[in-house]
Structure 1
Amino acid sequence: MKWKERTSKELAPELVEKYQLKPIAARLFALRNLNTAEKLEYWLNATEEDLADPNLMHDMAKAVARINLAIEHNEKITIYGDYDADGITATAIMMETLEILGADVHYFIPNRFEDGYGPNLAAYKKIVADGTNLIITVDNGITGVEEVAYAKHKGVDTIITDHHKMQENVPDCYALVHCNYPGQKYPFDDYCGAGVAYTICRELMQDPMPELLELAMIGTIGDMVKVSGEGHIVVKRGLEVLNQTDRPGLKELIKNSGLQSGQIDENDVGFNITPRLNAVGRLDNASLAVELLLCESEAEVQKIADKIENLNEQRKDLTAKVYKACLQQVKVNNWQSRKTLVIYSADFHEGVLGLVANKIAEELHKPTIILTKNRAGIIKGSGRSVANFNIFNALDSLKQNLFLKFGGHDFACGLSMEESKIVTLRTEFEASYDIHESTVVKYYDFELPFTHLSLDIMHQINQVGPYGTDNVKPIFSISNLEISSCFFMGKDKNHIKLTLSQKNNKLEVVGFNKKYITKGLLPYINQLFIQLGENNYRNQVKLQGIIEGIVFSAPKFLFSTPVIDLRQEKHVMGFADRYLLFDKQNLEVASNSFDIDSKKITLIDEYDNDSDREVVVFLDTPHNQAELDQALSKNYKQLYLRFLLDQLPIKLMPAKKYFEVLLKYVYQHPGLEINEYRQVAPFLGIDYQNILFIMRVFYELKFITIKQNKIWGIKNPEKKALTASKYFCAIQSQLNFIQQLRQMPSEKLLMYVNQQLKNNN
């Protein structure tokens, strides 16, 4: 990862004076291009009264006229929503408004497991059969060509209100209200479904309807659309309304979330409120969440909110369970060196696939697809990607041959397919992986002024909020720092808290899921990138940083040390000039597994830099001592010993009894394919990678034969010791050498390496 500082011209002094901006706020506004009186006035003071005329949105007048006609004639109206937070809030917005207007209005939320996402023909048929005269979609519908055609054939009009990407073939609906319709005059193009619904209701009511802003805000944050332009008004004013809400359902949701009214910000909504609403659709029917938002009975609301809380806890437990099972599959199948992951189990819960795919992609830095089997026997899946890899484009070309349904965007996708095609998907997905630029660039705002650390900084930062997709929360750099204390937190001790000192000023910073930052790495931390927040503990409020990135460098006092032993550390810090590999097969593994510039990775056989001595790292293991000695004949400025990678087929030599157990099984179960031994492995108590190794030894010793990919035991084979296998002996020798290299006491290893370097240079 590469960090770059944002740049901009300073705000004009007259603007700073007019809006009474303090230095940090002024600089942040400038860096976000909010640099004119018009822009600042809108950002700081605009309200729902400043939103554009709803009639500028495509087909708005036509849609509103048809809705009013339905109300006037007492026609039955059905709102067709969606099961995520955006679809839930959009449904509630439309329901509440039409009920105020006296409409005969009902709603339908598709069931994730029975109806799937978006328009569903069976659902439309049921809605039409129930006597509906007008269908209004919210947060969906743009793909419902067949469904809308059916409704129209039956004499039922459909008004589509949506924000998703428009397809080439759009439904023949009565009216299409879409915030990004080509050529329309509405000035804001990135509303979520709830935002579009809110715009329609403004026109229906001929009023800004501020009481609906809290719902539109939740949908906006939940769907991660823009929080600039009109999105800024929706989120900013929505938060103000939420913090003094009279809506019983939201009050109960806030209480169960452990939040405090009056202090709720966009992060609280994103990490506490929307996950609870989403949890309902992941595990149950999301109609329950709509009911919560519309319910006015406090007693009934508490029951619903408690049920939602239980579902949210189940969601957490299921996510953790599936996540653990996925990591186990990666380990058992030795997929650590793969560039992509396709992980399948019929036991995975469909509702958490996307959450788990996201966690795996973040943890292992690999594009990941998680699959399971639904009640109808169809394989359903969710995929998540990593920086610089477009998962939608990678899979879109495969959809005709592999998928029953497929959709998504750059970093996420959903799909369904037949079970028999999973192996092909795994192969094709791996082959599709291609990153031309592996270095991810992230931006920070500026160096944190340590001399003026106070809670007033948070007031200035909040002035430039609320933050979200296109107005990211400020990230500050801290350089020339001194770490005065360090301790690890959490059940698994995987979070770290550091106290930073600079010129007698101190700041505590927390790093979540930073277990790799051992105390041995602290001297190498050269620069931190943090977000600032408030820590409320025992009624004391103080400033606290959250680590977003770390830049490492060699401590100055270490430059007199020619060789550094960092074998015990698992994290690759990325500051060396060159990362040397002994094995060509580790090139791709190193490029994909570590956050280092792939241009710095070189095979040691191709490395020749005598003219300009460099800081280098031995990233993988040599195959033998001769290779190590040859590498130590080169001239380095400084050498770091890591030995993290190898290409050994096994980690430890299997005990002799496992050879006997497996050979016996082969004779008792002739004709199995090698892949079938993957299922046999747990029964035999032998790791699958060890089975592959043992089979190769057996084949060389002519204990087994392979015909048409099936394994057969040879009758009455010649008795031979395992050491008669050249492959067995080669791997055993390499294992012994690598184990010795990794386990040798540091003092002894450094003495040997330094002596070799001295002799050769």
Structure 2
Amino acid sequence: MEWIKRTAEKLDPELIEKYQLSPIEAKLFSLREINTDEQLDYWFNATEDDLADPFLMHDMEKAVERINQAIDNEEKIMIYGDYDADGITATTIMMETLSILGANVDFFIPDRFKDGYGPSLAKYQEIVANGTNLIITVDNGVTGVKEVAYAQEHGVDVILTDHHTFQSEVPKPYALVHCNYPGQAYPFDDYCGAGVAYTICRALMGDSMTELLDLAMIGTLGDMVKVSGEGHIIVKRGLQILNQTERPGLRALIANAGLQLGELNETDVGFNIAPRLNATGRLSNASLAVELLMSDSEEEAKLVADKIEDLNNQRKDLTNDTFAKCMTQVRSKMESKNTQVIYDPSFHEGVLGLVANKVVETTHKPTIVLTDGDNGELKGSGRSAEGFNLFDALNPLKDKLLTKFGGHDFACGLSLKKNRLSEFIQAFEASHHSDEKLPPKKFDFELEEKNFTLGLWKELQVVGPFGTDNPVPVFSLTDPAISQFNKIGKDKTHVRMNVGKQSKLALVGFNLPYLHEDLLPYIGRLYIQLGINTFRNQTNLQGIIQDIAYQAPKLLRPERVIDLRKENYLIGFADKYLFFDKKNIVVAKTKWGIKDEQIALADEYQNTNEIVALVDAPHNQTELDQVLTNQYQQLYLRFMLDQLPVKAIPNKTQFADVLKYVYAHPGLVPEEYQAASDYLHLEPETIMFILRVFFELGFIKLEKQLLVPVNNPVKHPLTNSKYLLATNAQLKFTKVLRNMPSRQLLEYVNNKLG
């Protein structure tokens, strides 16, 4: 991963003096382009009274008039919400406000398993049939073209309130209140659903409605919308309200999470409160969470909060179990793929997105996780690795392979017919863009040892709350003096260490199973975020490792050739990374963020006296010997990747099964034969390998791009195939190269280098 340092003009000394900023506070504000008197005054002093006039938002006046009319006429109002933390808090905001105004109001939260995501025509029909006069959507609706039309045509007005991206066709409700409606006058464009609902309630009440800010804040952080501009007011003031909340439901939820009122910050909300609300929609019905937030009884709130805590614990267990099963599948599949699709009928639908995210964090590959749905369909969630737009990749498949699809750059939900799974796997892999690379990440500045104090944490809070559009500060630690390194966690996949010569800063690193003491000398720079750790009533500053940059420890490793085959991580300090197969270069760019100028093909490399890493496996000994004729300062042996067409040569029975299938189903394109992988109990890659062998031996042929069997072909043994023999030789050579004892490999390479 490439990191670049943020740069900005220094803050005006007069502003530093006026707002009494420390050097670190001033630097962080300047790096976030909060650098004028007006901006700083807004940051420190703006409150909910400074929010824009709610009537600037599109159709707000129509919406308020229609709601007031419904209240005056005692019409039946239905709030149509959503099952995530944003939809839950948005629903609660609308319910509380309309109840205060004396409305005849009820709410509906879709059931993930029965109703699916977003508007449901069947549910709209039911709501209309039940005598509802007005439907108000919160955190959903922009995709409900048919649903809104049905309600309007049957005399039920719809006030659509949402924040999601408009599709090509926009519904036509009675009123459409949207924070990002094209051309509207409202100055802030990135509210969440709860933020839009809060704005409507400000308009309805003619008041700033301070008591609703805790809910709007939870929705904002849960949905990861901007915490700059008006989002800053919502989150900052919402946290203040939350820390002194009298809501029995929130107090019970906070207690069950092991948090302390008065000390809650945005991290607590994002990682403890919002996930608990989300758990209700993942495993049960999110109406439970609305009941909790609306509860005015401590006893009732405790009972509901305990149910939610049980659901959250189930969610954690299900996520961990499903993730473990996914990784078992991942390890059993070919490593050469750039994408992965994981299916298991036992997976629980409610945790698929969480699991897909964990798989991507571990494998750095775009991932789709699927389970059985209804009517012979599979349904699932996808998450993407950085540098790959998942929505753009899958959107062209929407009408070809997918029965349902929606999402954004890095996440999606989808459904498809089960019998088209193999075809989808191939199409998803084909969608991967080989020319994409990871964008560089940004860090703020080098953290000096003198700042390893709790005082630094207090300074950071001045520049917070942090979130989307106000990123958590990232600091670098160059040539860190590391001590007391330990593996921690149940599976010893996390690490703890201290850095510093005089002052010490404790660091923790999550999901770093490859890191061990022998690699510590290679660490050239650490990138960290900061937090606090309280243990036995002692509170200390703590760093959380975000990334590690490596360097060659020349004094500690003077050897000319170093064997790093057993390290499951690419040490990122070489001058050049050599590849025997150019297809593997995309991994270097997307997974490890290696720059173009550091990459070269082995057969084209002509430089001398550089630190070089051999990243992938050569196809044969000749390729290896050729690259060893160069002069290197140091050579690191990795052999991590390959482009083997199969993991093992198929047996005769598998060859025969494929040939029988071709004779029984002539005239298909090769990809259609691959789609029979489930029937043949073979990987699609294995089928393609067998077809290539048969083509070379003259058992099958191409006619108008379709494969057909050859009538009465000349019989040849499979070993007559040069492709099969070459692949077999490559498999054997790669296996030997990766498993050869280190002493034997180093002796061979050193002798060749001369």
Same fold (TM over 0.5): yes
Q: In the alignment, is the contact (CA less than 8 A) between 2:120 and 2:147 conserved in 1? A: yes
Q: In the alignment, is the contact (CA less than 8 A) between 1:650 and 1:689 conserved in 2? A: no
After superposing the two structures, state which structure 1 stretch, 437-446 or 393-402, moved more: 393-402
C-alpha distance in structure 2 between counterparts of 1:430 and 1:698, whole Å: 23
Gaps of 5+ in 2: 666-672
Gaps of 5+ in 1: 682-686
The residue type paired with residue 46 of structure 2 is: A
> SS at the partner of 1:424?
helix
**Alignment correspondent of 2:526:** 528
Q: In the alignment, is the contact (CA less than 8 A) between 2:526 and 2:547 conserved in 1? A: yes
* Per-residue CA distance 1:365-415 (angstroms, 9 max, x = gap): 222222333234333232222222222222222323233332222222222
Q: In the alignment, is the contact (CA less than 8 A) between 1:507 and 1:543 conserved in 2? A: yes
> SS at the partner of 2:379?
strand
Q: Select the residue among 570, 575, 578 that pairs with 2:568.
A: 570
Distance 1:698 1:636, change over 3 A: closer
**Alignment correspondent of 1:609:** 607
User: How many residue pairs align between the two structures?
Assistant: 741
Distance 1:229 1:589, change over 3 A: closer
Q: In the alignment, is the contact (CA less than 8 A) between 1:697 and 1:725 conserved in 2? A: no
* Per-residue CA distance 1:200-232 (angstroms, 9 max, x = gap): 111222221111111000000011111011111
C-alpha distance in structure 1 between counterparts of 2:166 and 2:583, whole Å: 44
**Alignment correspondent of 2:539:** 541
* Per-residue CA distance 1:672-699 (angstroms, 9 max, x = gap): 9887675776xxxxx9699879979997
Q: How does 1:261-276 map to 2 (within 5 A)?
A: 261-276=261-276
Q: Select the residue among 739, 748, 755 that pairs with 2:751.
A: 755
**Alignment correspondent of 2:471:** 472
**Alignment correspondent of 2:282:** 282
Q: How does 1:308-347 map to 2 (within 5 A)?
A: 308-334=308-334, 336-347=335-346
C-alpha distance in structure 1 between counterparts of 2:233 and 2:584, whole Å: 51
**Alignment correspondent of 1:385:** 384
**Alignment correspondent of 1:635:** 631
After superposing the two structures, state which structure 1 stretch, 555-564 or 543-552, moved more: 555-564
The residue type paired with residue 46 of structure 1 is: A
CA shift, 1:480, in A, is 2.8
The residue type paired with residue 180 of structure 1 is: N
C-alpha distance in structure 2 between counterparts of 1:695 and 1:160, whole Å: 56
* Per-residue CA distance 1:496-530 (angstroms, 9 max, x = gap): 1121124x222111111011222222111101111
Tell me whether 1:90 sits opposite 2:90 in the alignment. yes
C-alpha distance in structure 1 between counterparts of 2:592 and 2:19, whole Å: 46
Distance 1:736 1:432, change over 3 A: closer
C-alpha distance in structure 2 between counterparts of 1:167 and 1:700, whole Å: 47
The residue type paired with residue 448 of structure 2 is: P
Q: In the alignment, is the contact (CA less than 8 A) between 1:671 and 1:711 conserved in 2? A: no
CA shift, 1:341, in A, is 2.1
Distance 1:184 1:142, change over 3 A: same
C-alpha distance in structure 2 between counterparts of 1:77 and 1:678, whole Å: 50
**Alignment correspondent of 1:121:** 121
After superposing the two structures, state which structure 1 stretch, 344-353 or 267-276, moved more: 344-353
Tell me whether 1:28 sits opposite 2:24 in the alignment. no
Distance 1:146 1:286, change over 3 A: same
C-alpha distance in structure 2 between counterparts of 1:201 and 1:353, whole Å: 35
C-alpha distance in structure 1 between counterparts of 2:133 and 2:107, whole Å: 13
After superposing the two structures, state which structure 1 stretch, 385-394 or 640-649, moved more: 640-649
> SS at the partner of 2:500?
strand
> SS at the partner of 1:408?
strand
C-alpha distance in structure 2 between counterparts of 1:60 and 1:259, whole Å: 38
Q: How does 1:478-497 map to 2 (within 5 A)?
A: 478-497=477-496
C-alpha distance in structure 1 between counterparts of 2:659 and 2:177, whole Å: 69
Q: How does 1:127-276 map to 2 (within 5 A)?
A: 127-276=127-276
* Per-residue CA distance 1:446-488 (angstroms, 9 max, x = gap): 1112123210100100110000111011001111321122111
Q: In the alignment, is the contact (CA less than 8 A) between 2:140 and 2:162 conserved in 1? A: yes
Q: How does 1:527-676 map to 2 (within 5 A)?
A: 527-557=525-555, 560-584=558-582, 586-610=584-608, 613-648=609-644
CA shift, 1:346, in A, is 3.3
Distance 1:542 1:74, change over 3 A: same
Distance 1:576 1:294, change over 3 A: same
After superposing the two structures, state which structure 1 stretch, 125-134 or 87-96, moved more: 125-134
> SS at the partner of 2:268?
helix
Distance 1:711 1:553, change over 3 A: farther
C-alpha distance in structure 2 between counterparts of 1:698 and 1:435, whole Å: 27
C-alpha distance in structure 1 between counterparts of 2:626 and 2:377, whole Å: 55
The residue type paired with residue 29 of structure 1 is: F
C-alpha distance in structure 1 between counterparts of 2:606 and 2:26, whole Å: 50
User: What is the percentage of aligned positions where both structures have the same residue?
Assistant: 57
C-alpha distance in structure 2 between counterparts of 1:147 and 1:660, whole Å: 56
Q: In the alignment, is the contact (CA less than 8 A) between 2:90 and 2:215 conserved in 1? A: yes
C-alpha distance in structure 2 between counterparts of 1:285 and 1:129, whole Å: 22
Distance 1:33 1:647, change over 3 A: closer
Distance 1:260 1:724, change over 3 A: same
Q: In the alignment, is the contact (CA less than 8 A) between 2:4 and 2:440 conserved in 1? A: yes
CA shift, 1:726, in A, is 7.4
**Alignment correspondent of 2:669:** none
The residue type paired with residue 500 of structure 1 is: V
C-alpha distance in structure 1 between counterparts of 2:184 and 2:675, whole Å: 57
C-alpha distance in structure 1 between counterparts of 2:190 and 2:171, whole Å: 21
Tell me whether 1:396 sits opposite 2:392 in the alignment. no
The residue type paired with residue 364 of structure 1 is: T
* Per-residue CA distance 1:41-79 (angstroms, 9 max, x = gap): 111121112112211212212211211121111111111
**Alignment correspondent of 1:78:** 78
Distance 1:526 1:37, change over 3 A: same
Q: Give the TM-score taking structure 2 as reference length.
A: 0.90
> SS at the partner of 2:496?
strand
> SS at the partner of 1:608?
coil
> SS at the partner of 1:181?
coil
Q: Give the TM-score taking structure 1 as reference length.
A: 0.90
The residue type paired with residue 557 of structure 1 is: L
Q: In the alignment, is the contact (CA less than 8 A) between 2:677 and 2:684 conserved in 1? A: no
Q: In the alignment, is the contact (CA less than 8 A) between 1:450 and 1:505 conserved in 2? A: yes
C-alpha distance in structure 2 between counterparts of 1:693 and 1:78, whole Å: 55
Q: In the alignment, is the contact (CA less than 8 A) between 1:358 and 1:384 conserved in 2? A: yes
Distance 1:137 1:583, change over 3 A: closer
C-alpha distance in structure 2 between counterparts of 1:307 and 1:489, whole Å: 31
Distance 1:623 1:71, change over 3 A: closer
CA shift, 1:7, in A, is 0.9
C-alpha distance in structure 2 between counterparts of 1:665 and 1:417, whole Å: 28
CA shift, 1:627, in A, is 3.3
Q: In the alignment, is the contact (CA less than 8 A) between 2:336 and 2:641 conserved in 1? A: no
Q: In the alignment, is the contact (CA less than 8 A) between 1:77 and 1:106 conserved in 2? A: yes
* Per-residue CA distance 1:93-147 (angstroms, 9 max, x = gap): 0101111111111001111122222221111111111111111111111222222
**Alignment correspondent of 1:684:** none
**Alignment correspondent of 1:362:** 361
**Alignment correspondent of 2:302:** 302
**Alignment correspondent of 1:517:** 515
C-alpha distance in structure 2 between counterparts of 1:416 and 1:724, whole Å: 44
C-alpha distance in structure 1 between counterparts of 2:495 and 2:516, whole Å: 9
Q: In the alignment, is the contact (CA less than 8 A) between 2:2 and 2:594 conserved in 1? A: no
**Alignment correspondent of 2:103:** 103
> SS at the partner of 1:397?
helix
The residue type paired with residue 619 of structure 1 is: V
Distance 1:376 1:675, change over 3 A: closer
Distance 1:455 1:602, change over 3 A: same
